[in-house]
Chains A and B, each alone.
Chain A
């Protein structure tokens, strides 16, 4: 009886290990969301039957208006809130169970966070051992790059400095799923550039990075896929390449029928139009964001 129990336990352990190895060595959907229904009250749903898949090897930019549910979606993925119905699969685990095997593969950088009143070395000593792949040298390099005073107590640091410490810690855990909620809030201009550089270098084929932000310009040239939330669902999920293949972003003097959406600018209009002639243009995320919110129906057929 005892040996049978031990065998079942060993099989469970092997299953978990195999699941993780599979998810970390293949290009697969790391996150599978199926018919997710979620809301903080039953009468006011935030997501209605939301479905989406996110794969490794990508940096996703999660955009949406205030209250669209960006942070809530990230919390669902991290298992910090529970769905009312539907399924959410993160690397083969149900995040709601908060299993250590999954938690050590998730780096969650919240918008508001707390760091204890200790020095960085004490913080690392207490927290790093939970992550078996924690890279101390990489952490040191990131701190140096972010210009963080290592001997200072965390409590005495500015919000921006604390944010850099928590980002450096999260990346050094070598977690495969990196979730960041407004990571550039509180960072000064040089730090934002450093952040983009560090995130680009942190991207590997076995990692999936999801960044939610209001400041779309902070993610310029960093994200490869845009996810836009609106009206309780995913309004757009497309790679930057797909968007620029299907749409062109131009400055025009006058608005005509071919233009899907335009915004007045100093020298005419910033316009979004279908890319009939395979022209090359740079994705203007702010313009796309406003365009999708204003003309959702017109864009739908292009990205289905």
Chain B
């Protein structure tokens, strides 16, 4: 018997965890779906509102970006923060820790539910909600007052904005690991703290970020003291996005390693 990882045992563990975590996950998903629909219903342009605001030849639906970010952050962080909450309650923790699966498998199940399933299902739910409302807008476009629509046909007016090459998805790849980093932080919080996991993790992250930000500011100020800017070569965006990608990936791995160690050392 392999005491570190066994695919059958891992499958059994995922199924077992679904019994507890599945309800939280499904309920959260329903709430998120409701919130997204609510935001879309209240913000989407209606023919009765008159001329929709246009942005470069497309109907402007900029409300989607902050909604995507904020609702997504709340969903994945709350989900990750509630995964190991059982370990904070003795009666539940004993049953969980005594389940015949390795610590590594228990940790991997946590990563699967919070990172893979959590982020994946949010993207899916958001995409579906967005697609339905964009379809609806495209189909009802004729009801809007006449408007100059530039080179685009009415049928593609909204849908095009979603998957438009002008969005430059390349640059957003730099942020691909940011949600992973968020889930890894809150997953650690759910193992580390016994109560009030979410608040405590959020406060800890806020304090850590403030300290790190202040230290960076001090260092940069010190390094730039008595120096004169002699070139203006512009910002290297690509480099910045690469740094964001690599650093968020490294931080995620770092948090996962600590989570694994904390899980291994967990005592009741």
Write the residues of chain A forming the contact surface with B, with a CB cutoff of 8 angstroms. Answer: 9, 13, 16-17, 75, 78-82, 97-101, 103-104, 106, 108, 110, 112-114, 116, 118, 122-123, 126-127, 129-131
Contact = CB atoms under 8 A, between A and B. Distances in A.
7 contacts: A17-B1, A81-B268, A97-B3, A103-B100, A110-B91, A127-B99, A130-B12
B267 interface: yes
A4 B192 CA distance: 39
A118 B19 contact: yes
Interface in B252-267: 264-265, 267
- Across the A-B interface, give the 4 residue pairs with the lowest CB-CB distance, nearest first: A103-B100, A104-B100, A114-B91, A99-B3
Nearest to B8: A129
Contacts of A106: 98
A147 to B, nearest CB: 24
A81 B265 CA distance: 9
A114 B3 contact: no
Contact of B90 (A17, A112, A118): A112
Contact of B1 (A16, A112, A123, A127): A16
B267 A82 contact: yes
Contact of B89 (A13, A99, A114): A114
Interface of B: 1-3, 6, 9, 12, 15-16, 18-20, 86, 89-92, 94-95, 97-103, 264-265, 267-268
B87 to A, nearest CB: 11
Given A80-B268, A100-B101, A103-B99, 13 more contacts: A9-B2, A80-B94, A82-B265, A101-B1, A106-B98, A110-B90, A110-B91, A112-B91, A114-B92, A123-B19, A127-B16, A130-B9, A130-B16
B1 A13 contact: yes
- In this complex, which of A78, A97, A106, A130 has the most chain B Cβ atoms within 10 angstroms of its Cβ? A130
A106 B15 CA distance: 21
A99 B102 contact: yes
Contacts of B18: 126
Contacts of A80: 94, 97-98, 267-268
B12 A100 contact: no
Contacts of B20: 116
A16 B3 contact: yes
B268 A75 contact: yes
Contact of A100 (B1, B16, B19): B1
A126 B20 CA distance: 11
Given A108-B94, A130-B99, A100 B9 contact: yes
Contact of B267 (A81, A108, A112): A81
Contact of B16 (A9, A78, A99, A126): A126
Contacts of A17: 1
Contacts of A100: 1, 3, 6, 9, 100-102
A66 to B, nearest CB: 17
A280 to B, nearest CB: 42
Contacts of A129: 12
Nearest to B13: A130
Given A80-B267, A100-B9, A114-B89, A130 B19 contact: no
Given A81-B267, A81-B268, A112-B90, A126 B15 contact: yes
B22 to A, nearest CB: 10
A101 B3 contact: yes
- In this complex, which of B2, B18, B100, B102 has the most chain A Cβ atoms within 10 angstroms of its Cβ? B100
A75 B268 CA distance: 8
A19 to B, nearest CB: 11
A212 B140 CA distance: 72
B235 to A, nearest CB: 47
Contacts of B89: 114
A78 B98 contact: yes
A106 B2 CA distance: 17
A108 B90 CA distance: 13
A122 B23 CA distance: 14
A131 B100 contact: yes
A77 B9 CA distance: 23
Given A16-B1, A81-B268, A118-B19, A113 B94 contact: yes
Contacts of A78: 98
B259 to A, nearest CB: 16
A110 B91 CA distance: 8
Nearest to A99: B3
B110 to A, nearest CB: 15
Nearest to A111: B91
A195 B264 CA distance: 34
A211 to B, nearest CB: 17
